[in-house]
């Protein structure tokens, strides 16, 4: 996942109620919103196309000013705009170290024959004394075995999708020295016996993701299941088998891949 400046391509805007209806039909009468039972149990745990990116939208004067006066003017300009630096709407620049930090992510991938539901909770920390307004690019794994999401939702945020960029975008603001928690859900069609969740974009962040947890939920009847990286724990609940992968200071050049026979 990455914080960006721009978005492009074919876009579809707005929240999708079909996802909620679909999940409710799967869990009717159970009181669950996910494999862990309730919203409160979906704990924080890790978005970029080119990496966290930001720039100020302020224009630079072309007037010739003596150096001492220029220094004073620039200092005054910086202090005046410090409370509200924002991401530009065009261009592509990385956010420098010390701006935003993806401190935690927790992702649950629930697989059924022909489809996978991805539920993610992501915590962004603002390391500055100024509000950071960012556009986040959340890349989605799309290949011959996984189609682009046909339903998606980013709770509490304006979002749009880009098929050409194979990504979900949303806009957010993080208060000075504060944190913003974002919940993302989407459904994908599976055309084979493999699911991939993108992790390699963790390399685009200035520092590693603080804490990451990934839980893969599969039918217990599926045979020959392989996870990469290997799970730290596995357990059975009824007709579903759970696999958990936990990492601290996550920065990797490989994705989470699940295969079965």
Tens digits of residue pLDDT in 14-41: 434 444 444 445 444 444 334 333 333 3
| Mean pLDDT of all residues in 215-240 | 96
Q: Tell me which residue of 124, 242, 128, 132 sits closest to 183, measured CA to CA.
A: 124
CA 238 to chain centre: 30
Per DSSP bridges, beta strands 151-154 and 179-189 are: antiparallel
Return the higher-pLDDT residue of 43 and 104. 104
Rounded distance between C-alpha atoms, residue 55 and residue 73, angstroms: 20
Would you state the pLDDT for residue 206?
82
Rounded distance between C-alpha atoms, residue 50 and residue 4, angstroms: 7
Grade residue 87 by pLDDT with cuts at 50, 70 and 90. Answer: very low
Rounded distance between C-alpha atoms, residue 141 and residue 111, angstroms: 15
pLDDT in tens, 128-183: 999 988 889 999 999 999 999 999 999 999 999 999 889 999 999 999 999 999 99
Averaged pLDDT score across all residues of the chain: 73
Rounded distance between C-alpha atoms, residue 261 and residue 244, angstroms: 20
Q: Quick check: 58 and 20 in contact, CB under 8 A? A: no
């Amino acid at each position: 996942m990455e914080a960006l400046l721009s978005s492009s391509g074919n876009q579809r805007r707005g929240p999708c109620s079909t996802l909620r209806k679909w999940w409710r039909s799967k869990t009717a009468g159970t009181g669950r919103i996910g494999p862990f039972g309730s919203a409160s149990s979906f704990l924080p745990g890790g978005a970029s196309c080119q990496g966290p990116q930001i720039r100020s939208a302020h224009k630079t004067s072309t007037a010739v000013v003596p150096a001492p006066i220029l220094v004073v003017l620039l200092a005054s300009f910086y202090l005046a705009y410090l409370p509200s630096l924002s991401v530009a709407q065009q261009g592509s620049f990385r956010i420098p170290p010390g701006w935003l930090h993806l401190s935690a992510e927790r992702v649950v991938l629930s697989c059924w024959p022909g489809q996978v539901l991805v539920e993610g909770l992501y915590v962004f920390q603002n390391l500055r004394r100024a509000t950071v307004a960012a556009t986040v690019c959340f890349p989605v794994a799309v290949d011959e075995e996984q189609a682009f999401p046909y339903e998606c939702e980013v709770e509490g945020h304006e979002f749009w999708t880009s098929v050409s960029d194979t990504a979900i975008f949303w806009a957010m603001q993080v208060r000075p020295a504060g944190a913003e928690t974002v919940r993302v859900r989407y459904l994908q069609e599976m055309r084979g016996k493999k699911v991939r969740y993108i992790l390699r974009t963790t390399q685009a962040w200035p520092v590693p993701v603080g804490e990451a947890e990934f839980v893969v939920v599969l039918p217990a009847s599926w045979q020959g299941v392989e996870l990469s990286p290997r799970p730290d724990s596995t357990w059975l609940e009824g007709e579903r088998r759970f696999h958990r992968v936990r990492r601290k200071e996550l920065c990797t050049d490989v994705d989470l891949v699940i295969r079965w026979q």
